[in-house]
A and B are shown apart, each in its own frame.
Chain A
Amino acid sequence: MSAPLLSVTGAVKRFGGVQALRGVDFDLKAGEVHALLGENGAGKSTLMNLLSGVYTPDEGEIRIDGKPVTFNNPREAQAAGIATIFQELDLVPSLDVAANLFLGRELMRPGGLLDVPAMRREAKKRLEAIELAIDPARLVADLSIGQRQVVAIVKALSYASRVLIMDEPTAALTVGEVERLFDIMRKLAATGVGIVYISHRLEEVPEIADRVTVMRDGRVAGVTEPNAPQSELVRLLVGRPLDELYPQRAQSAGRTLLSLKDASFRLARESAGWQPPSGISLEVRAGEIVGLAGIMGAGRTELLSALYGTGLAGRWEGGVAVDGKPVKLSSIGAARDAGIAFVTDDRRGSGLMLRMAVGLNLVMSVIRRISPAGLMSASRQADAIKQSFGQFDIRPKNPDIAVGALSGGNQQKVVLAKEILGNPRLLLLDEPTRGVDVGAKGEIYARLRQLAAQGLGILVASSEMPELIGLCDRIVVLRQGRNVAEFIGGVDEHTVLAAANGREA
């Protein structure tokens, strides 16, 4: 048997006192898609950074075609044929596709002028090689996220062409875009490129991967076949069987907290791509978790932001009542006064003050309560922080570090804990576990169920169907801004999907 295209043996990497990798073996064959799974902190990013030359291993070695290599920087890794596509695509949005593909290695005419036509021709050729019809003269800013991903791949492959490392490439893609991306990956693999595919999404693994390596605590927890049952993957990921990812459902629901009766949100100005609630009827009762399902653009996020007053300008028409009282919900202030709290789907962009301490973030929505007479009370602040740390297992257990330094799961716990401190009656959640690892997901679900049991009403929008089905008591399906079907939690996925797409099950 010939040597694998790329192999790592006994890799150890320490950062100060933290051992990020504790002896990792990994190999990649030519023409293979090798999925690398692991929770946050399992060491998969560190491994990726070793392979792409960002870090050098403290112990162990990397071989290409059986020959030991050392990379002192990403350039050397590229020269050896390893290309990496990071989550934050390194494209310049204000430049066109061709300019991005040739950034730093522009084709020149004699005399030091850019040879734009030649670059566009060459760019077109490369894009067409993977059957992608993008005009190389288009600005990257005008492309969809999926198209940008492909441009990034083409760019990476033009540097290096033997190994492609992709970090969560599907995190921001729609279902259709994921399919296209997978097509492209299969084509590349067929030409002999080895692909390391890093992902959180277990359900994608059987579709794309040829082999799966699961990491945990800086070690390889196991290497399995891609069609291993999900329960087996989850066991490898978290180190214990996770039968109870979703908590028990509620026994009974209380009074109606939110009631929409044929309610519409009249926009001050129409906006393409923003589907306002139009003629929607639904109820959320105390103690209940209600899910919002629907395809992209069905108006899930729009409903939540219209209720909370963070969306586009406009006003509600029809019956909107909170806790039995008709309300206008015309602004964030009005929503908060009505006892509504909102957790955004974009925790880094609009949920957290990343550079500020965890504690300061936690008390952000209760500043008024902890500042009697306008003066901040240190003891009330400390009590509030203590309460949050008691409710959520936020790690590290230190309120002084910047929240931006926490893992995604822990950041999400901070965003949730922050809103819960305000003692809302009704909690609106948009994608509550996006980019969160399985362990933290389980904890968040359990906490939400506990809060519901204490009388909170929860309305949760999610694009992850298993999450809605596992977590919610009822699932309301939206299409074009209105409710078209409703199911009891635990319903099978196809029934919900069919309703979301407007088909009979």
Chain B
Amino acid sequence: MSEQKISEASGPVAAAPVRRDPLALVVRFQSLIGLVVVAIGGIIFSPRRHGEILFLNPDNIANIVRAVSETGIIAIGMTFVIITAGIDLSVGAVLGLSSVVTASMMISGGFGLIPTILAVLVMGIVFGAIQGTISTRFRLEPFIVTLAGLQAARGLALVVSGNQYINISYGEGPGLAPPVFAVLGERLFNNTVPVATLVFVVFAAIATIVLNTTRFGRYVFAVGGNERAARISGVPVSMVKISVYAITGFAAALAGIVHAGQFNFGSANDGMGYELTAIAAVVIGGTSLFGGAGSMVGTVAGTIMLGALANILQLNNITPAMQLLATAAIIVLAAVLQSLVRRREGLGR
């Protein structure tokens, strides 16, 4: 369901108010509700030290939102693609490629910060647009095109890096990155807000506006709602599809830059599996894999919820294996809830 509410604006048309299905409301805000539930659970089950709830410790909160910023940025882009009923599996690999290119441009290439960032972002956009173009031009499933894209990006990253970590050293002069780049690993405002999180939040805010208030955003919903109907209505379907893959490419490149800045190196093998975490966050956020319905706020909440859940499990020294199982259960729960609502509305089977 789109976040947009029509009846408020349409005045006398909405003569007959329909009873809202409570389950539909739960699903509409499922990721926010989930986030609240996880937060409460976090408080209850959090280990305490000297009476302090460790889960609520500002450092811990900052850690949670910092840890999810990269997959969060990717999930924001992924939301556009999934609303068009597509999928982009290449994002994790593009993140790896982007971290490598960022590091090598500054360290071996001697490029400045701004040219490097611009070049990497353009590379991400072009990479995504090429995948979108191949998929629309040859009518291929995005699944298969971006699976190939994943391999291509990893391959390119290995070529660029020579399968080595490219460490980023800071300073003035050739072979060194400008010290300001290291800010991506730091916190601002009295050492409270991680810069990586700020990038995530700003990107999410812009994406929310684009999705919900622009013509392009409406086209995205239309293409996912029914591609043929959209085409007949004059929506430039191919342009929209190419654009959403350019957006995921941009998001993955942005995440790659943040990754390089946070960890001070570029690595061809980083970002593995990020695409799946991002898809999980999007689905938990209430966006339908069938397309045509979704919400950016949901994706952000879904991302943070997954991070908070991992955090509380870690705080209690629960094994990574159990963390995976918990994530699995949440994905299934989110999907089941959505399916139930579809069936109640008489739209699913």
Pairwise interchain contact B7-A399, C-beta atoms closer than 8 A? yes
Residues of chain B within 8 A (CB-CB) of A381 are 6, 9
Of residues 75 through 132 on chain A, the ones whose CB sits less than 8 Å from some CB of chain B are: none
Q: How far is the CB of B218 from chain A (nearest CB, A)?
A: 5
Asked if A386 and B11 sit within 8 Å, CB to CB, the answer is yes
A397 within 8 A of partner (CB): yes
Which segment, of A138-146, A159-167, A347-355, faces chain B?
A: A347-355
Cβ of A405 and Cβ of B225 under 8 Å apart?
A: no
B347 contacts A382, CB within 8 Å?
Answer: no
B2 CB to closest chain A CB (Å) equals 7
Cβ B2 vs Cβ A357 within 8 A: yes
Question: Which residue from A350, A389, A401 sits with its C-beta under 8 Å from B226?
Answer: A350
Q: How far is the CB of A49 from chain B (nearest CB, A)?
A: 13
CB–CB B14/A399 < 8 A: yes
Asked whether B178 is an interface residue with its Cβ less than 8 Å from the other chain, the reply is no
A353 touches B225 (CB 8 A): yes
* Binary flags per residue of A338-370, CB closer than 8 Å to B gives 1, else 0: 000010100001111111110110001101100
Report B-chain residues with C-beta under 8 Å of the C-beta of A402: 345, 347
| Contact in complex: B215, A385 (CB < 8 Å) | no
B14 x A355 contact (CB < 8 A): no
Closest chain B CB from A48 CB (angstroms): 16
Question: Given A332-B231, A386-B10 in contact, is the A368-B222 Cβ separation under 8 Å?
Answer: no
Stretch of A208-216, A372-380, A486-494 with 4 or more beta carbons under 8 angstroms from chain B: A372-380
A418 contacts partner chain B, Cβ-Cβ < 8 Å: yes
Report how far A310 CA is from B231 CA in the complex, Å: 9
Contact B293–A400 (Cβ < 8 Å):
no
The CA of A356 and the CA of B235, in the complex, are separated in Å by 16
Which residue of the partner chain A has the closest CB to B344? A405
* B214 A374 Cβ-Cβ under 8 A: yes
Cα distance A20–B304 in the bound complex, in angstroms: 45
Q: Within 8 Å of chain A (Cβ to Cβ): is B57?
A: no
What residues of chain A lie closer than 8 Å to B18, measured between beta carbons?
A: 396, 398, 400-401
Contact A360-B221, Cβ < 8 Å, known A349-B228, A418-B233: yes
Q: Is the CB of B229 within 8 A of A376?
A: no
Are B2's CB and A360's CB within 8 A?
A: yes
Assess the B11–A353 pair: CB atoms within 8 A: no
A310 to B10 CA separation, bound complex (whole angstroms)? 33
Instruction: Assess the A400–B226 pair: CB atoms within 8 A.
Output: no
Which residue of B5, B225, B232 has the most chain A CB atoms within 10 A of its CB atom? B232
Residues of the B chain whose Cβ atoms lie less than 8 Å from the Cβ of A404: 345-347
Which residues on B sit within 8 Å (CB–CB) of A359? 6-7, 10
In the complex the two chains form, is B7's CB within 8 Å of A356's CB? no
B347 near A405: Cβ-Cβ < 8 Å? yes
**Bound: A418/B1 CA distance, A:** 20
Interface residue B12 (Cβ < 8 Å from any Cβ of A)? yes
CA distance A376 to B9 in the complex (A): 13
- The A-contacting residues of B in range 192-243, CB under 8 angstroms, are 212-219, 221-222, 225-226, 228-235
**Cross-chain contact A385 with B232 (CB below 8 angstroms):** no
Q: Smallest distance from the beta carbon of B226 to chain A beta carbons, Å?
A: 4
Q: Are A398 and B347 closer than 8 Å at their CB atoms?
A: no
Q: Are B292 and A355 in contact (CB under 8 A)?
A: yes
Asked if B290 CB lies within 8 Å of chain A CBs, one says yes
- B2 — which chain A residues lie within 8 A by C-beta? 356-357, 360
- With A336-B234, A357-B6, A375-B214 known to touch, is A399 a contact of B13 (CB < 8 Å)? yes
Residues of B within 8 A of A401 (CB): 18
Using Cβ atoms and an 8 Å threshold, which residues of chain B touch A336?
234
B17 within 8 A of A: yes
A400 with B5: in contact, given A352-B229, A376-B214 (CB under 8 Å)?
yes
- Nearest-Cβ distance from residue A405 to partner chain B, whole angstroms: 6
Given contacts A354-B347, A360-B2, contact A376 B217 (CB under 8 A): yes
- In the complex where A356-B293, A385-B10 touch, is A375 in contact with B230 (Cβ < 8 A)? no
Which residue of chain A lies nearest to B9 when distances are taken between CB atoms in the complex?
A382
Contact A399 B347 (CB under 8 A): no
The CA of A332 and the CA of B5, in the complex, are separated in Å by 30
- CB interface residues, A 287-311, toward B, < 8 Å: 308, 310
- A466, CB-defined interface residue at 8 Å: no
Q: Which residues of B contact A351 (CB under 8 A)?
A: 226, 229, 232
Contact, CB under 8 Å: B347 / A333: no
Partner pick for B346 among A353, A364, A405, CB 8 A cutoff: A405
Q: Determine if A376 and B15 form an interchain contact, defined as CB atoms under 8 angstroms apart.
A: no
Min CB distance, B20 to chain A, in Å? 10
Return the contact of A332 from the options B9, B12, B221, B234 (Cβ within 8 A).
Answer: B234
Q: Which residues of B contact A344 (CB under 8 A)?
A: 232
Q: How far is the CA of A151 from the CA of B2 in the complex (A)?
A: 41
Interface residue B324 (Cβ < 8 Å from any Cβ of A): no
Contact at A376–B213, with CB atoms within 8 Å? yes
- B16 interface contact, C-beta 8 A: yes
Task: Tell me the bound Cα distance from A219 to B14 in angstroms.
Answer: 29
Residues of chain A with a CB closer than 8 A to B290's CB = 355
Tell me which of A332, A352, A401 has the highest count of chain B C-beta atoms within 10 A of its own C-beta.
A332
Q: For residue A349, which residues in chain B have a CB less than 8 angstroms away from its CB? A: 226, 228
Shortest C-beta distance, A386 to chain B (Å), equals 5
* Contact A356 to B292, CB < 8 A, known contacts A364-B229, A365-B234, A375-B214: yes
Q: Which positions 242-284 of chain B face chain A at CB distance < 8 Å?
A: none
Q: CB within 8 Å of A: which of B317-349?
A: 342, 345-347
Q: Which residue of A lies closest to B224 (CB)?
A: A353
What residues of B have a CB within 8 angstroms of the CB of A354 in the complex? Answer: 225-226, 347
Given contacts A353-B226, A398-B16, A400-B14, contact A342 B232 (CB under 8 A): yes
In the bound assembly, the distance between CA atoms of A16 and B19 in angstroms comes to 11
Q: Which residue from chain A places its CB closest to the CB of B349 in the assembled complex?
A: A88
With a cutoff of 8 Å between Cβ atoms, the chain B residues found around residue A355 in the complex are: 225, 288, 290, 292-293, 342, 347
B10 to A332, Cβ gap below 8 A? Answer: no
Contact A332 B232 (CB under 8 A): yes
Chain A residues near B232: list those with CB within 8 A: 308, 310, 332, 342, 344, 350-351
Complex-state Cα separation, A154 to B290, whole angstroms:
34
Knowing A332-B234, A397-B13 touch, does A374 contact B216 (C-beta < 8 A)? Answer: yes
A371 contacts the other chain (Cβ, under 8 Å)?
yes
Bound together, the chains give a CA A365 to CA B346 distance in angstroms of 26
- Chain A residue contacts of B16, Cβ below 8 A: 396-398
Q: Mark A421-464, 1 if CB is under 8 A from B, else 0.
A: 00000000000000000000000000000000000000000000
| Bound form: Cα–Cα A389–B219 in Å | 23
Alpha-carbon distance A110/B144, docked complex (angstroms): 42
Please determine whether B234 and A333 come into contact, CB atoms closer than 8 angstroms.
yes
**Are B230 and A364 within 8 A (Cβ)?**
yes
Which of chain B's residues have a CB closer than 8 A to the CB of A367? 215, 218-219, 222, 233, 235
Interface centre among A351, A398, A399, A400 (most CB of B within 10 A): A400
A386-B13 contact in complex given A332-B231, A359-B6, A405-B345, C-beta closer than 8 Å = yes
- Name which of A344, A367, A396 has the most chain B CB atoms within 10 A of its CB: A367
Please list the 6 inter-chain residue pairs (A to B) with the smallest Cβ-Cβ separation, ordered nearest first: A353-B225, A350-B228, A371-B215, A359-B6, A382-B9, A365-B233
12 further A-B contacts with Cβ under 8 Å, apart from A371-B215, A382-B9, A402-B347, are A333-B234, A355-B288, A356-B225, A376-B213, A385-B10, A385-B13, A397-B16, A398-B13, A399-B10, A399-B13, A400-B6, A400-B7
* CB<8 Å pairs between A and B, sample of 18: A332-B231, A332-B234, A352-B229, A355-B347, A357-B1, A360-B221, A364-B222, A364-B229, A364-B233, A367-B222, A374-B216, A385-B10, A386-B13, A397-B16, A398-B13, A398-B18, A399-B10, A400-B14
